[in-house]
Amino acid sequence: MATNIIILTIATCLLLVSLSFGLTVVPTEQLLHIGVDGELSVELSDLDAASFDFGRLSLQAEPLAVLHPASAEDVARLVKAATGNCLSVSARGHGHSINGQAHAENGVVIEMSRSRSRSKTPILAGPRVLEKERYVDVWGGELWIEVLRETLKHGLAPKSWTDYLYLSVGGTLSNAGISGQTFNHGPQISNVYEVDVVTGKGQLLTCSEERNSELFYAVLGGLGQFGIITRARIAVELAPQRVRWIRVLYSNFSTFTKDQEFLISLHGNPASQRFDYVEGFVIVDEGLINNWRSSFFSPSNPVKITSVNSDGGVLYCLEITKNYHGHNVDAIDQEIEALLEKLHFIPNSVFTTDLPYVDFLDRVHKAELKLRSKGLWDVPHPWLNIFVPKSRIDDFDKGVFKGILGNNKTSGPILIYPMNKNKWDQRSSVVTPDEDVFYLVAFLRSALDTAEETRTLEYLTNQNRQILRFCDDAGIKAKQYLPHYTTQKEWMDHFGDKWDQFYRRKMEFDPQRILATGQVIFKPCTSTSGGHVATW
Catalytic residues: 96, 163, 279
Residue among 363, 361, 421 at smallest CA distance from 389: 421
CB contact set of 291 (below 8 Å; sequence gap of 6+): none
What sign results for the dihedral spanned by CA atoms 249, 250, 253, 258? negative
Residue among 146, 140, 57, 126 at smallest CA distance from 378: 57
Q: Is 210 exposed, middle or buried (0-12, 13-18, 19+ CB in 10 A)?
A: exposed
Query: Which run of H or of E encompasses 17?
Result: helix 2-21
Q: Phi then psi for 443, rounded to 5 degrees?
A: -95, 95
Instruction: Give yes or no for a contact between 266 and 334, defined as CB atoms under 8 angstroms apart.
Output: no
Residue among 64, 56, 154, 72 at smallest CA distance from 447: 56
Taking CA atoms, 475 is separated from 100, 120, 176, 395, in Å, by 29, 56, 25, 10
Taking CA atoms, 467 is separated from 149, 397, 407, 432, 443, in Å, by 39, 11, 16, 18, 10
Q: Phi then psi for 426, rounded to 5 degrees?
A: -70, -5
Instruction: State the Cα–Cα distance between residues 527 and 199, nearest whole angstrom.
Output: 19
Counted residue by residue, the chain has a size of 536
Instruction: State the Cα–Cα distance between residues 324 and 331, nearest whole angstrom.
Output: 9
